[in-house]
Amino acid sequence: MPELPEVEVTRLSFADRIAGARIERVRVGKPLRWPLGLQAESLAGRTVRGVRRRGKYLLVDLDEGLLLMHLGMSGSLSFADTQPEPGAHDHFDLVTSRGTLRLNDPRRFGAVVYAPGEDAQESVKLLGRLGVEPLTDAFDAAAFHAGLKRRTAPVKQVLLAGDLVVGVGNIYASEALFLAGIRPTSRASRISRPRADRLHAAVRDVLARAVAKGGSTLRDFSNARGESGYFQLEAMVYDRAGEPCRICATPVKTIRQGQRATFFCPHCQKP
DNA sequence: AAAAGCCCCTGGATGC
DNA sequence: TGCATCCAGGGGCTTT
């Protein structure tokens, strides 16, 4: 579920409220993707400084160390004064003086990992290979084109890989390529500078607009206040196989790339 | 180094 | 209704 917009919307929905909170206790449910990395009880007494985002990871900064949180495919966070009795898929509760942060994740591809610091092995391992943040000035059109140049894989796969630019998942890769008029199967290395510039702008544009709309709620995404997103209503191609292109009415086509569905308009998007 | 496949896990939709 | 199959917002790891 969660790509950059959903993770950022989640962050915005509780970061201010949890900042300054004192951790009272931690409850862990079933194992997630990786072990927490320390005794849960030893988090008690620490203070939450704030919440940052790097790619699709949330970084919950503590006065000592930090928690790296990832929502995987089906994870969502909620932050409330009180939480109901934990359900079968509630796998992590951070009980604080300001409320309880709860991770619900049916598929358990998500994770909560403690790292003693920013340069700790856990942080470096998980964050070290990540590409540039698309919504910052560090996302440079010339560098983006140069990065595409050295990859022979289909451009959609390169967007998803996350080592060139982070945060673009399966929905927004298809959407950005549509906006840029580029066929998802095109080899990244063959994309011209003008087209790379269009893709660069499209990535920024689609992610920023998705954040503004609260993300995409396809099945069950909601932010930490329990609110749904609405960007799925503006999707041009994602999950619209066979439906008319919103620009030219040609039926949207779906193919599989790397075991993931890709959607595109065969008329508007050129190889 | 980069690309391609394989998994992790659960639930919902679909088909017989 | 029951059961099998396929598919799903990710991404690390192993194999080519």
Note the helical H segments in A213-256: none
Tokens of A201: 């702008």
* Protein residue with the closest CA to the C1' atom of nucleotide B6: A259
**Is the CB of A170 within 7 Å of strand C?**
yes
**Contact predicate A140/A148, CB 8 Å:** no
Task: Determine the pLDDT at residue A207.
Answer: 98
Task: Determine the pLDDT at residue A118.
Answer: 85
Q: Is A175 a catalytic residue?
A: no
Phi, psi (rounded to 5 degrees) for A131: -75, -165
**Is the CB of A6 within 7 Å of strand C?**
yes
Q: How far is the CA of A21 from the C1' of B6 (A)?
A: 41
- In strand C, the nucleotides that come within 7 Å of a protein beta carbon are 7-13
The full set of domains in chain A, from first to last, is 4-127 (3.20.190.10), 141-264 (1.10.8.50)
**Contact predicate A49/A63, CB 8 Å:** yes
Q: How far is the CA of A259 from the C1' of C8 (A)?
A: 11
d(CA A157, CA A173): 9
Q: Which member of A11, A53, A56, A195 is catalytic?
A: A56
- In strand B, the nucleotides that come within 7 Å of a protein beta carbon are 2-12
Q: How far is the CA of A160 from the C1' of B9 (A)?
A: 21
Render A121-172 in DSSP notation, one character per residue. Answer: HHHHHHHTT--B-TTSTT--HHHHHHHHHT--SBHHHHHHH-SSBSS--HHH
Report which DSSP code applies to A21: P
Q: Is A204 a catalytic residue?
A: no
Task: Determine the pLDDT at residue A1.
Answer: 62
**Is the CB of A70 within 7 Å of strand C?**
yes
Q: What is the CA radius of gyration of chain A?
A: 19
Question: Which nucleotide is at minimal CA–C1' distance from A4?
Answer: C9
pTM for this prediction: 0.97
d(CA A254, CA A166): 24
Helix, strand or coil for residue A120? Answer: coil
Per-residue confidence in pLDDT tens, chain A, 271 aa: 699 999 999 999 999 999 999 999 999 999 999 999 999 999 999 999 999 999 999 999 999 999 999 999 999 999 999 999 999 999 999 999 999 999 999 999 999 999 998 888 888 899 999 999 999 999 999 999 999 999 999 999 999 999 999 999 999 999 999 999 999 999 999 999 999 999 999 999 999 999 999 999 988 899 999 999 999 999 999 999 999 999 999 999 999 999 999 999 999 999 9
In window 172-231 of A, residues with CB < 7 A from nucleic chain C are 216-221
Q: Is A2 a catalytic residue?
A: yes
Q: Is A22 a catalytic residue?
A: no
Q: Which member of A2, A5, A134, A154 is catalytic?
A: A2
Sign of the torsion angle spanned by Cα atoms A156, A160, A166, A169: positive
Task: Determine the pLDDT at residue A122.
Answer: 85
Task: Determine the pLDDT at residue A219.
Answer: 82
